[in-house]
A and B are shown apart, each in its own frame.
Chain A
Amino acid sequence: MADFDLVKDGARQMTICNACRYCEGYCAVFPAMELRRTFTKGDLVYLANLCFDCRACYYACQYAPPHEFAVNVPKLMSELRADTYREFTWPGMLSGLFKRNALAVSAITASSMIIILGLVLALKGSAVLLGTHVGEGAFYRVVPFVAMTVPPSLIMLYGFVVFIVGAVRFRRETRGPISDLVDGSALWRAMKDAFGLAYMKGGGAGCNYPGESFSRSRMWHHHLVFYGFLLDLAATSIAAFYHHFLDWHAPYPYLSAPVVLGTLGGIGLIVGTLGLLYLKWKSDRAPADSTMRSLDIAFLVMLFLTSSTGLALLALRETPAMGTLLVIHLGVVAGLFITAPYGKFAHVVYRYAALVRYAIEQRRIESPDHQN
């Protein structure tokens, strides 16, 4: 159950915004708000996940603190989002992982690394771990192929199930009809908004991030992270295709598709995550929520570690460091994916669900037979 006081304060702030409406040109939150007069918890959850934390409304707000109305929409929305992630996750008993996220992520990653290291040492011995391996199947001499593919697949499947549960719970809470899930044009419009980060543009000039002046640096760095991640996903998928269908096993040559895409993606992730971490460090704390901040930092650090250990592994794969780096890399990847459902990764699911809902609502009021 989302914090009662938070919902109450959310309704209070949205009532003020709805009587003002000066910010409606900035993003999707305000046009969506204007279709409502009262704000239930479901409405607030929906609006919160439409918010991309661009902060333009905070700096433009005549009622922001120290005004007695104390309107601070980005902070409110961040708090509501953090609540959404906790409340809609499955199983409920793991929702505490969101609260102490940095600790949970570090502990799980470290444990994964230790387990993998322990298994390698127990099953293969330190000579294998510290040896030099070259040629086809080099990685699998340290960590067998089955061990490197089956547990990750199960972990990803598990994460997928958790997110499906979350999406269903989100839809139920925001009272969206089930037909939302198969509305092609809305899914497409939401996809365009998501891939273009339409709402990190703050109405055109960019976000008020990290500070008061407008900047697009957050958007570009986020693009680097997102597309870097997709490139790495593509690299892994192509590698899997090579392995299963062409019977061609890793390591692949430097100019092969998996390595080129993986390297580009890795560089994107490194630059993007470092950039976002730097911006976060510099950013104004007033419109921020500390829980969301720690989720952000934990996730960015994990993405950075995944990509940097991956690139280090690539660079040193023909040296005796390969075994150790492989263990470290796999440990980090395991930590990233095990904790994905219980960290910032969740934003992908709820933001997209909110954008779909928005696309449907806006189409309805833009249609000629709509009576305002």
Chain B
Amino acid sequence: MADFKHPFDVLVAGGGNAGLCAAISARRAGARVLVLESAIKDFRGGNSRHTRDIRYMHRGATEFVTGAYEEEEFWQDLRGVTGGATNERLARLTIRDSETLGDWMAANGVRWQKPLRGTLHLARSNLFMLGGGKAMMNAYYDTAAKLGVEIDYETEVQELKVRDGEFISAVAVRGGAARAIEAKTIVVASGGFEANISWLKEYWGEAAENFIIRGTKNNQGVLLKELLKHGAKPEGDPRGCHAVALDARAPKFDGGIVTRLDSVPFGIVVNKEVKRFYDEGEDFWPKRYAIWGKLIAEQPDQIAYSIVDADALPRFMPSVFPPLEAGSIAKLASTLEIDPRALVAVVDEFNRSVRAGKYDPGSLDDCHTEGLTPPKSHWAKSIDRPPYYGYPLRPGITFTYLGVTVDEQARVIMQNDQPAKNIFAAGEMMAGNILGRGYLAGFGLTIGSVFGRIAGREAARHGGF
């Protein structure tokens, strides 16, 4: 355990990617740094341990990326997904600063690999961590420890003492015992609030009970609430969350990447009342999977069922839970515990309306339905080859968008539009400033790394280094 007798220069609340980037930067500047991580050591790293790649700006191909990805293209991609819900100044700062990330991360122990099979669409823009996010976090913790950063696990910062925008001390709880921790500055990097179901209920009602949280259960938003209480200016849609379609059998927390399901465009999806509710073939799945979380959240009991036949099954990535299987549509419905006659009717109607064309999962093909509401615009193919397979689906929350406003030095902006004196924020805590809506693969890590480094550097500077 860390020595609390003398005040720390920099207290970092949260031991994920942003927190460790801040801690390493501050420590390298010479500051005495304490990281408090609420999880046990095995689960350290928050949602970062479920990541696998990071988007960064670069001017040419390297051993690990296939070509250039420069500022303007990066910015246009970001503007596209957010529909303008971004702060261009901070966004461009993030993009430009990301250029040095590859070397910085490697210098701090992170190792790269060639893009994974099946993710080649990211081969040009994103760097892939060898072993993924947990391996990256292991490297950062190792580096931080070697540099002399003090780290306490199973220690949660629960309260902040703030006076006139100035951080005084924090109350940290470990094993039920609370203690005050003094530091010259604080970097708050404790993530969003997506694991706080009762907070989610404020916006989503009882439906939130049926949400699956893809990442850590530690993201309770305690310090986000604390900062807002102390007058930090909020940023981002409080109701906003990145919600995808997941296998309903996924664990409630920390299921990570493997519980995703890619079956939707290869069949039909019905809700509990055995009604289709959205065009399963509207666009390519990587562009649509993030709207399906919200779509399912709006269905009765927040559940839906993806139905495919034997012809479709080998066409998508294997998923971690085997599909439910039956020799007939009626039997499959019984297995899924939905009305068999209704499902037979829905599948029959769908099959009758299919206008077969040249089937091609690799393009927006001309296989579509006619006279069906809602339609299936592409990849419409009769579901008629037994055995039939079903996957139950639920909304899976990746992260929330609500955060605190920050400036270019990662300082938290208060309600009076003035920056707090010695409070910095990094990671999901402030990502909403830059990514106010939508998602760009590997960009959460970019924001966390860039602002983590800035927050660490600026906090150390404020502490006199």
> Quick one: which of A37, A56, A65, A213 contacts B131, CB cutoff 8 A?
A56
| Least CB separation from A18: chain B residue | B318
Chain A interface residues (CB < 8 Å from chain B): 15-16, 18-26, 34, 37, 56-57, 59-69, 203-205, 212-213, 372
With A60-B131, A62-B133 known to touch, is A21 a contact of B256 (CB < 8 Å)?
A: no
Q: Output the residue of B43, B49, B128, B138 with the most chain A CB within 10 A.
A: B138
A23 and B132 contact, CB distance less than 8 A: yes
In Å, the complex CA distance between A18 and B316 comes to 13
> What are 21 residue pairs bridging A and B, where the CB atoms are less than 8 Å apart in the complex?
A16-B320, A21-B117, A21-B118, A22-B132, A23-B131, A23-B132, A24-B116, A24-B117, A26-B130, A26-B131, A34-B117, A59-B131, A59-B134, A60-B134, A62-B133, A62-B134, A62-B257, A64-B42, A65-B42, A204-B130, A212-B138
Chain B interface residues (CB < 8 Å from chain A): 40, 42-43, 49-50, 52, 111, 113-114, 116-118, 128, 130-135, 138, 142, 251, 254, 256-258, 260, 314, 317-320, 322
| Least CB separation from A372: chain B residue | B117
14 more A-B residue pairs beyond the given contacts A24-B113, A62-B134, A66-B43, with a C-beta to C-beta distance below 8 A: A18-B318, A19-B318, A21-B116, A21-B117, A22-B132, A22-B257, A25-B113, A37-B314, A60-B131, A62-B50, A62-B256, A66-B40, A67-B42, A204-B111
| Least CB separation from B53: chain A residue | A22
**Minimal beta-carbon separation of B435 from chain A (angstroms):** 23
Contacts of A203 in B (CB 8 A): 111, 113, 130-131
| Least CB separation from A19: chain B residue | B258
Contacts of A61 in B (CB 8 A): 134
| Least CB separation from A68: chain B residue | B251
In Å, the complex CA distance between A63 and B250 comes to 13
| Least CB separation from B136: chain A residue | A60
In Å, the complex CA distance between A23 and B116 comes to 9
B132 and A19 contact, CB distance less than 8 A: no
B258 and A16 contact, CB distance less than 8 A: yes
* Number of A-B residue pairs having CB atoms within 8 Å of each other in the complex: 86
Main secondary structure of the interface of A (DSSP, over half): loop
In Å, the complex CA distance between A107 and B159 comes to 65
| Least CB separation from A65: chain B residue | B42
> Quick one: which of A15, A23, A24, A25 contacts B320, CB cutoff 8 A?
A15
B114 and A25 contact, CB distance less than 8 A: yes
With A19-B318, A25-B113, A68-B251 known to touch, is A59 a contact of B138 (CB < 8 Å)?
A: yes
In Å, the complex CA distance between A64 and B130 comes to 17
A19 and B257 contact, CB distance less than 8 A: yes
> Quick one: which of B43, B111, B116, B320 contacts A22, CB cutoff 8 A?
B116
With A21-B118, A26-B131 known to touch, is A60 a contact of B138 (CB < 8 Å)?
A: yes
Contacts of B116 in A (CB 8 A): 21-22, 24
With A62-B49, A66-B42 known to touch, is A20 a contact of B256 (CB < 8 Å)?
A: yes
A57 and B131 contact, CB distance less than 8 A: yes
| Least CB separation from B135: chain A residue | A60
**Minimal beta-carbon separation of B335 from chain A (angstroms):** 20
